[in-house]
Amino acid sequence: MQQSNKKSSEVGKLLFTSLHLPPALKSPNVCCFVIGESVSFFGSWMTQIALVWMVYQITNSAMLVGVVGFTNQFMGLIITPLVGVLLDRWNLRYVLLTTQIVSILLSGTLTFLTVNGQITVMSIIVIGIMQGTVKAFDLPARLVTIPRLVDNKADTYSAISIHSFLINTAKFISPMIGGFILARFGAASCFLVDAISYIPFISAILTAQIKSVNNKPLQNKTNILQNLKEGFVYAHNFLPIRYVLNLQILICFMVMTHVNLIPVFVKEILNGSAETMGFLMTASALGSIIAGLYLVLRKQAAGLVKIIAYSTIVLGLGLILFSRSYNFDICLILICVVGMTNTLTLAAISNFVQLVLVDENKRGRVTSIFTTGFLGILPFGNLFFGGLASKFGVDNALLFGGIFCLIGGAIFVRRLPKIERIVSPIYAETS
């Protein structure tokens, strides 16, 4: 009997250990920050869904959907690398507060124009350029801040994973609610929710304890271009970062653009409505949240490059099959797989870059290069695939992207041994 109780106790302890909370969740500092930013991302995703649907409803043109996607994000390519130099010099708290306040003003303007019936494609483009400029500062600043919130360096992976998970949770909720609000109350309601969603994050920014870094040597270097060059040289010479950033650029150009093509796919292939789009976006986001949860529960950095490699291959296959599917139920399953592997790959790349980046004084610059691959390349992908969908059909455009993603994943798999050999000592230091 005692032996049975002892076994039960051991099983209980094992279950408790397996369900043990990630270390970063024990820190109120990390929790408040990432929860606040996930709420703001909830509003941002809702606005993106509403804008894409509105443009396509107004123009009935896949090409113009691509143009709007391009103008919303092309500023990322122009200024994000320079932003990295500035983030290594400036106070991160002030940068984040400024970007949230400006975002509220822009979303409020969209609300006002839509309610008064004055919204046009041109006004969407102009506001999109401004939003893209804000994102060029905002996203790198958030990523640079996360590792500086933790007390113990070993908890960095946990904090970054929770950051990705909560963002993807917002990504999961926003299409579901956004599609409903868009269909029932119109786009203006989405923009208004977006404006309000920044307020909790502002509160978190004001109260967060962000570790300061000695950046006086960088501030004394007045040549910003020289500082920028140092960041690019570091990212290029450190092979693991170079390889994952090259893969990230390929995915952002060839695959991430599928989000802007979903409204076109819904209308031309599935003959659906805004609610149909909401279901597809929700299925994609459900896959994203599964990916984020998996990364949180892993509890270690080792093996991230293998996840990056094989999820890229599955991502390419998933997009190929989705492009050939015309049944709504099958499309829901496949877009869930695409959303899961797309997030798994990009979140793992983001986590990997932050973890293997040992030079803290270059964190802002290297992070901005990563963000450039996301914000800067994506608009060109939107423009290219908007034209491709107009000429050859949205299904063939998605097929094209999936094939190139598959090829990129296969090339990255061949580089795995070299990457793992280099990063193994770094993993040992941070664990």
Please give, one letter per residue, the 3-state secondary structure of 81-118.
HHHHHHHCCCCHHHHHHHHHHHHHHHHHHHHHHHHCCC
Q: Which of these ranges, 18-27, 169-178, 399-408, has the smallest mean pLDDT?
A: 18-27
pLDDT attached to residue 13: 47
pLDDT of amino acid 123: 86
Predicted TM-score (pTM) of this structure: 0.68
Q: Identify which of 422, 383, 215, 218 has the alpha carbon closest to the alpha carbon of residue 305.
A: 422
Lowest mean pLDDT of 248-252, 253-257, 317-321, 358-362, name the range.
358-362
Tell me the pLDDT tens digit for each residue of 240-291.
888 988 998 899 888 887 877 888 888 888 887 777 877 887 788 788 878 8
Q: What confidence tens digit (pLDDT) does each residue in 41-97 have?
A: 888 878 877 887 788 778 877 677 777 767 766 666 677 777 777 777 778 889 899
> 169 versus 149: which is more confidently predicted?
149
Measured between alpha carbons, how far is residue 28 from residues 25, 33, 34, 104, 149 in Å?
Answer: 7, 8, 10, 26, 10
pLDDT of 102 > 90? The answer is yes
Sorted by where each starts, the structural domains of the chain and their CATH numbers stand as: 24-208+218-430 (1.20.1250.20)
**For residue 371, is pLDDT > 50?**
yes
pLDDT value at residue 430: 56
| DSSP conformation class of 350 | H
Q: Inform me whether the pLDDT recorded for 332 exceeds 60.
A: yes
What pLDDT is recorded for position 100? 93
pLDDT, residue 319, reads 93
Helices (H) and strands (E) in the chain, counts: 19, 0
Average pLDDT over residues 303-317: 91
Q: What is the CA radius of gyration of the chain?
A: 22
What is the mean pLDDT of the segment spanning 129-139?
Answer: 84
Q: Residue 148 contacts by C-beta under 8 Å, 6 or more apart in sequence? A: 92, 210, 211, 213
